[in-house]
Structure formats: C-alpha cells, structure tokens
Amino acid sequence: MDKLQYISQGADHRSQFEAIQKALDGGCTWIQLRYKNSTPFEFHHLAGRVRVLTSHYKATFIVNDNVLVAKENGADGVHLGLDDMSVRDARSILGPDKIIGGTANTWEDIAKRMAEKCDYIGLGPYRFTQTKEKLSPVLGPEGYRKLLGKQKEAGDRTPIYAIGGIREADLEGLMATGIYGVAISGEITRSADPKNLIQRIYEKLEPTIENSR
C-alpha cells in the first residue's frame, strides 16, 4: 500500500472535489473521501465523481465510514472509525479483495484491529487537529514509539499509518518510530505548491526509493 494517504477536506461538494483534484494533480495516489457534514445524496454523488476521477489517475479510492457508499460506487475500500460497522460485517458486504482500514488510539484499539484483521490501521492523533470534532488523546512521537513497540512484541505486521495534524517537518521523526506511512490532510489542502510538497513527502517516506512522481 502507498505510504501516503490524502484525506479530503472541504465544507461543500465543490471544495471537496477541488481539494481531491489538487492532491491527485500533485501526485497523491491514495485518496480517502471524508465528508462528514453532507447529506446522504451529496455524499453518494461526490463519491461517484471521485471514483471516476481516481480511476483516471489510477489512484486508490477509499471511502470514510460508509460501507454502502463504497460498495455502490466501486471504491477500492473503506476506512472504519471505532464506532462504525465492524470489520467483519464490512468484509461480508464488500468482499475479500477490498481494502478495509480501521482507526485506533490506544493499544486496546490496535489489538482489536489486529484481531479483526484490518488491512491497515490509522493510529492517532499525532497532534491536535481541527479536522475531527471529537478528538482522542494526542499521542505525539513517544506514543507512537511505545505502541509500535508493543505491536512488534506481539509479532503483528499490520501496516500502521500515523494520522492527525501531521506536517512535512514531522516525517523524519515519525518514520523513526517504525510507522508504515502517514495520512495527511490540511497541509496538502492548504499548499500553494502541492506537487513539490507531495514529492518531498514521498522522498521522506521512502528515502531509498527513487521517486518519479
């Protein structure tokens, strides 16, 4: 799986779509559609448009929370919060080949996700972020180091992504904790030069890989 996920932002359909277009133009190859304050019709319609767009860019398309919207629009998978549908039920709806990721904040959450056999875990938040209204306790670098150490002791290799207020300047320290990758939203959305920003991010996430993005 790609080491960078872009999580969409925007208060309305248009700003969401434009932010996703900007991220794809900049070189992101993994898009998670997160549009919390929409009507069911708006979310479904936007998901359909984003599916067409990501297919054009050959990018992975994940829907946040809504399994049925993911299925009906042919998404590559879904990301489930701790209070959302179970991974087992989502798998029964989406099938064995779709990507299912799950949120975690504590070791108990990670253990639950490991037992559920998520394809990846989104662990956070790294720092305070305004993207989420109900924010779990902030982890910081030391929190990631401790939790990833426990995962290693458990012999589990589920890819874990850091999430929550992450900036380019955080990446070297985060990668040193053993994290697999990162999910970034605000910094990419606000960037005046997303192509160069995303290029630098990939280089820091995969320093040994010559990147042609």
Instruction: Kindly report whether the global pTM for this prediction surpasses the value 0.85.
Output: yes
Q: Is the pLDDT of residue 3 over 50?
A: yes
pLDDT in tens, 103-146: 999 999 999 999 999 999 999 999 876 555 555 688 999 999 99
Report whether 33 belongs to an annotated binding site: yes
Does some domain include residue 52?
yes
> Structural domain tally of the chain?
1
The conformation of residue 119, written as its DSSP 8-state character, comes to: S
Q: State how far the Cα of 56 lies from the Cα of 23, in Å rounded to an integer.
A: 14
Report whether 76 belongs to an annotated binding site: no
Does some domain include residue 184?
yes
Report whether 34 belongs to an annotated binding site: yes
Write down the pLDDT at residue 153. 96
Does some domain include residue 213?
no
Report whether 119 belongs to an annotated binding site: no
Report whether 150 belongs to an annotated binding site: no
Q: State how far the Cα of 75 lies from the Cα of 70, in Å rounded to an integer.
A: 5
Report whether 9 belongs to an annotated binding site: no
Does some domain include residue 30?
yes
Where in the sequence is the domain holding 8, given as residue range(s)?
Answer: 4-205
Report whether 65 belongs to an annotated binding site: yes
Does some domain include residue 82?
yes
Q: State how far the Cα of 10 lies from the Cα of 154, in Å rounded to an integer.
A: 39
Report whether 77 belongs to an annotated binding site: no
Report whether 131 belongs to an annotated binding site: yes
pLDDT in tens, 5-46: 999 999 999 999 999 999 999 999 999 999 988 899 999 999
Percent of the chain predicted with pLDDT > 90: 89
Region 185-199: mean pLDDT is 96
Nearest alpha-carbon partner for 99 in 123, 114, 118, 81: 118
Only one residue has tokens 């670098």, namely 141
Q: Tell me, what CATH number does 191's domain have?
A: 3.20.20.70
